[in-house]
Amino acid sequence: MLKRKNILDSQDLSIEEIEEIISLAQDIIKQPQEYADLCKGKLLATLFYEPSTRTRLSFEAAMLRLGGQVIGFSDSSSSSVKKGESLADTIQTVSCYADIIAMRHPNEGAPKYVANISKIPIINAGDGGHQHPTQTLADLLTIREARGSFEKLKIGVCGDLKFGRTVHSLIKTMSRYEGVEFVLISPKELKIPSYIKEQVLDKNEIKYMEVEKLEDVMEELDILYMTRVQKERFFNEADYVRLKDSYILDRNKLEKSKSNLAILHPLPRVNEISEDIDNDSRAWYFKQAKFGMYMRMALILKVLGVK
């Protein structure tokens, strides 16, 4: 039962709940007019303490397309945070005004902390390098549309696996499906955190391998999930500059891939996918951004208990 539930971690959704959200999103795509007024009178607050294009705007577009309304900030320096207000007091206040909060914060665990204070449901829209559960919902609908099923897929995740919160949420979720294998492609400095290996992959006996060269594994992959190197999480500019172009997916590298490979990327892209493959049938990343809005529409309806 998702009604009034906080969505803080990708594990907060059961497989059955994920299926319900996907089915609802697919129905919204088919007949959006049936959903146009369902959130009339409801208010979403988007509190973004870090920059965003897709997550904030797709949450806001989702609520507006459901007939609801939106308040919030995209830059906390325009709010009373600038005057020294605590996160707890901001949440207490906003939960007097809105029905649901989507919050992005640079501190890992901040959504979990505020969920204990808020009177209304909190949705984690990204917390530091930790989790991004609603991005995973967009990723899942994309994989379902591209491949028809989640089972028996070989998924390559490539780039910044250390700081990339979308990767952490995706691995945690996809590890619950039968026969999924991961190929973890990163420079040694940006390898997946050991807690994901131990508590998710090893614990669930998921097959995985770690490699440094994308070219070595391209032909085996069903899904290739590219990520950018997360500049904002580096302590040292020189390290970022050295690692930022570790992977650039271009036509040459794609030559060896399966014809039905699905290339995903949570975006924003910096340099890691060449624009000359944007129109390739294997490129799903802009469709993925659109699916994110439909999945957030479905999630809002479920959490508000509207449908």
Smallest separation, CB 177 to ligand CP (Å):
22
**CA distance linking residue 272 with residue 209, whole number of Å:** 21
Do β-strands 208-211 and 223-226 pair in parallel, antiparallel, or remain unpaired?
unpaired
**CA distance linking residue 167 with residue 189, whole number of Å:** 16
**Is residue 227 part of the contact set for ligand CP (CB under 6 A)?**
no
**Is residue 266 part of the contact set for ligand CP (CB under 6 A)?**
yes
**Is residue 111 part of the contact set for ligand CP (CB under 6 A)?**
no
Nearest to 271 by CA among 232, 225, 228: 228
The question of whether 93 is a catalytic residue gets the answer no
Nearest to 46 by CA among 112, 98, 113: 98
The question of whether 54 is a catalytic residue gets the answer yes
Query: How buried is residue 177: exposed, middle or buried, by Cβ count under 10 Å (0-12/13-18/19+)?
Result: middle
Which amino acid is residue 185, in one-letter code?
I
Smallest separation, CB 142 to ligand CP (Å):
12
Q: 154 vs 296, which CB is nearer to ligand CP?
A: 296
**Is residue 267 part of the contact set for ligand CP (CB under 6 A)?**
yes
**Is residue 124 part of the contact set for ligand CP (CB under 6 A)?**
no
Q: 5 vs 228, which CB is nearer to ligand CP?
A: 228
User: Could you tell me which stretch among 80-88, 188-196, 239-247, 263-271 binds ligand CP (CB under 6 A)?
Assistant: 263-271
- Among positions 44-103, residues that touch ligand CP (CB under 6 A) are 52-55
The question of whether 55 is a catalytic residue gets the answer yes
Which member of 104, 130, 197, 302 is catalytic? Answer: 104
φ and ψ at 68, to 5 degrees? Answer: -90, -170
The question of whether 307 is a catalytic residue gets the answer no
User: Could you tell me which stretch among 32-40, 84-92, 186-194, 262-270 binds ligand CP (CB under 6 A)?
Assistant: 262-270
The question of whether 83 is a catalytic residue gets the answer yes
Smallest separation, CB 55 to ligand CP (Å):
3
**Is residue 134 part of the contact set for ligand CP (CB under 6 A)?**
no
φ and ψ at 52, to 5 degrees? Answer: -165, 145
User: Could you tell me which stretch among 37-45, 147-155, 191-199, 260-268 binds ligand CP (CB under 6 A)?
Assistant: 260-268
121, 5 Cβ separation under 8 angstroms? yes
Q: 52 vs 175, which CB is nearer to ligand CP?
A: 52
Number of C-alpha atoms within 13 angstroms, CB side, residue 105? 22
**CA distance linking residue 125 with residue 216, whole number of Å:** 34
**CA distance linking residue 187 with residue 154, whole number of Å:** 20
Which amino acid is residue 60, in one-letter code?
E
**Is residue 268 part of the contact set for ligand CP (CB under 6 A)?**
yes
Which member of 42, 105, 132, 244 is catalytic? Answer: 132
**Is residue 135 part of the contact set for ligand CP (CB under 6 A)?**
yes
CA torsion angle 15 18 20 26 (round to 10):
-140
Size of the site for ligand CP (CB under 6 A): 10
Q: 206 vs 224, which CB is nearer to ligand CP?
A: 224
First to last CA, the chain: 12
**Is residue 168 part of the contact set for ligand CP (CB under 6 A)?**
no
- Catalytic residue numbers read 54-55, 83, 104, 132
Give the binding site for ligand CP (CB under 6 A).
52-55, 126, 132, 135, 266-268
